[in-house]
Structure 1
């Protein structure tokens, strides 16, 4: 079973790069019909240990799409690999 169409952003509340990545991601997510989940790594020690200096990190499931800044071309290429859902 594939991961749901949801981006996950590993973030920090005080991180301006994190806020910029989420703001840049919003129109792209809307275009593809994907949800965005933002997780503050400082609230989860296991996530902070894993992602610490890489935040912001944009994920789909366990797949890392980019970090620090939105790589729109990489995200578009990744999203285009998903088949259209049946409307039947």
Structure 2
């Protein structure tokens, strides 16, 4: 499962979520959105530095989808 750190009313967050969902639509992967504003420790850790896409503790991309990196991740995580 992928984790998307986001916040409410964030256009970049919505854009990244839409792109990721489109790329994983035919896979068994899922994305769990996590609102950084709902958790004080996450808000302190990431501040305004969202969206962030993670696989466990591994950051895949930040602020916008890095398609080559994400496709490489998909290749190794079918």
Q: TM-score, normalized by length of structure 1?
A: 0.81
Q: CA RMSD in A?
A: 1.2
Find the structure with the greater CA-based Rg: 1
1:19 to 14, 20, 41: 14
SS, match of residue 47 in structure 2 = helix
Q: Tell me, in whole angstroms, the C-alpha distance in 1 between the residues paired with 2:61 and 2:71.
A: 12
In structure 1, runs of 5+ residues without a counterpart are 1-5
1:47 to 19, 24, 42: 42
Q: Which has the higher contact order (CA 8 A, sep 6+)?
A: 2
Q: Number of residues paired by the alignment?
A: 78
4+ residue runs of structure 1 moved beyond 6 angstroms?
Answer: none
Q: TM-score, normalized by length of structure 2?
A: 0.90
